[in-house]
Amino acid sequence: MNYIEKNRKESGFVKIGNQTVQKDLNDLAAIGLLTHILSHSPTWRIRKSELHKQFTRRKVDSSWKVLLEHRYIMGFFCHVDGHHEYFYKAADHPFSQSYFETFIGEQKKELEEKGLAVFNIKAIKDSPLVVPDFFSNLQNVQCKPDSAKSATKNETNTKEIHTKKHSLATVNKPANKVDQIINIANEFYADFAAGRWAKEQWHKIIEKYAREFVDNDRNVPDNKLKAYVYGSLKKIAEHHDYKNSEEYADYKRVVKEMFVDHGV
């Protein structure tokens, strides 16, 4: 996969058009950052964390925002087998919305061909380009890149699993409150676990949650229990996403630098 695109290619040199330097990017630091990025090979994976280490966070972020606004950089983030991943692409020319959509599709296809599950695709912060509804609608359905029928089949299977679990929970009523919470949580497995946790991890998480629910004597009426559990699982998933995000990694790095600067 190429993450850097150059219309003007010359081995050993970075060539940027006059339009870009003199008119489009009225920011010297942004021109410098773009030049640095374009100096790498097309397959070089752009990582903001590496740029922060080399040029400091403050310098990179201000220049990055300029390049993003003028569409010389585009990017999105998503869940890849339970991990938060960011994908960026830079060029010596502005990107279009259709180009952005193609980039998402190609990257998604490449990951899925490796057997990886891709979910929750979203544009990066301050991006003028948007993720189309087509990709958003696939967030909770694991699609195979070579067949639209696979998406329909997976969606049908998911509904059948939910129906069977619901029926089973109705026939075999839980012996205690912990089992009841676990049964309810399992109904939302496809909504929250897919792309985040393996089955074993999921079972540990919901068992811990169920026991804490009972130990803390949470008084939730049975008719509102399912909605309550859903809301709790959503918060757990959002917390997991944040802890695995680039934003949180940057935060930890800044805190660490603060302690180092103060000799702590």
Q: Which amino acid is at 206?
A: I
Q: Report d(CA 1, CA 44) in Å as an integer.
A: 9
Helix or strand (DSSP H, E) at 170: helix 148-171
**Per-residue pLDDT at 259 exceeds 80:** no
Where is mean pLDDT largest: 106-110, 118-122, 248-252?
A: 106-110
54 pLDDT band, cuts 50/70/90, is very high
Q: Is the pLDDT of residue 198 over 60?
A: yes
Say how far apart CA 228 and CA 51 lie, in whole Å.
Answer: 42
Query: Residue 9: pLDDT above 80?
Result: no
Output the average pLDDT for the chain: 82
How far does the chain reach from its first CA to its final CA, in angstroms? 42
State yes or no: pLDDT of 18 exceeds 60: yes
Beta strands across the sheet bearing 73-80:
4-5, 83-91, 73-80, 118-123
pLDDT above 90 (res 71): yes
Residues 101/262, Cβ–Cβ less than 8 Å:
no
Lowest mean pLDDT among 82-91, 105-114, 118-127, 249-258: 249-258
Per-residue confidence (pLDDT) for residue 143, from 0 to 100: 45
Average pLDDT over residues 13-21: 88
How many Cβ atoms are within 10 Å of 28's Cβ, its own excluded?
10
Query: 158-165 long-range CB contacts below 8 Å, 24 or more apart?
Result: 158/190, 161/189, 161/190, 162/187, 162/190
Number of C-beta neighbours around residue 229 at 10 A: 23
Task: Tell me the average pLDDT across 54-71.
Answer: 93
- Torsion (CA) 191, 195, 201, 207 in degrees, nearest 10: -10
Q: What pLDDT does 167 receive?
A: 46
pLDDT of 136 above 70: no
Residue 107: pLDDT over 90: yes
The predicted-structure confidence for 205-246, as pLDDT tens digits, reads as follows 988 898 888 888 888 888 888 889 999 999 998 888 888 888
Q: Decide if 110 contacts 142 (C-beta within 8 A).
A: no
- pLDDT at residue 69 in the model: 94
Q: Is the pLDDT of residue 67 over 90?
A: yes
Query: For residue 50, is pLDDT > 80?
Result: yes
Least confidently predicted of 67-76, 150-159, 227-236: 150-159
User: With 50 as the cut, is the pLDDT of residue 134 above it?
Assistant: yes
Question: Does the predicted model carry a pTM greater than 0.85?
Answer: no
**Mean pLDDT value of segment 102-128:** 91
